[in-house]
């Protein structure tokens, strides 16, 4: 299928089910797609964190990240940690997104 045809046909499908089901159909399909995506993200996240032969468990990931932070700390983060909510660049990012 030509990419332009695919780009035009995708919104056409949304228009069709909105015409038949109204705005409720749009909200329900958006909700269903979101649920499916969240389930996929959880499955991939769990398989990466819990069953990976390189990582093994969330505890091993924690140990690796804290070890890396000790070897090469992040400038501007609290304690040089990669796992902090207190960072200068994070604050700047927050302000930019609010403004």
Backbone phi, then psi, for 87, in 5-degree steps?
-145, 145
pTM, rounded to two decimals: 0.54
As given in the structure block, the two tokens for residue 94 are: 């927050």
pLDDT per residue over 23-74, tens digit each? 888 899 899 999 999 999 999 988 887 777 777 778 888 888 889 888 988 8
Dump pLDDT digits (tens) for 65-95: 889 888 988 888 888 888 888 888 888 888 9
- Specify whether the CB–CB gap between 67 and 74 falls below 8 A: no
């Amino acid at each position: 299928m030509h990419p332009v045809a695919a780009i035009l046909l995708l919104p056409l499908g949304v228009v069709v089910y909105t015409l038949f089901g109204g705005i409720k159909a749009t909200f329900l399909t958006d909700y269903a797609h979101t649920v499916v995506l969240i389930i996929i993200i959880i499955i991939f996240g769990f398989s990466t964190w819990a069953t990976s032969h390189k990582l093994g468990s969330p505890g091993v990931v924690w140990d690796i990240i804290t070890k890396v932070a000790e070897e090469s700390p992040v400038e501007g983060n609290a304690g040089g940690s990669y796992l902090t909510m207190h960072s200068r660049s994070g604050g700047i990012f927050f302000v930019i997104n609010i403004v």
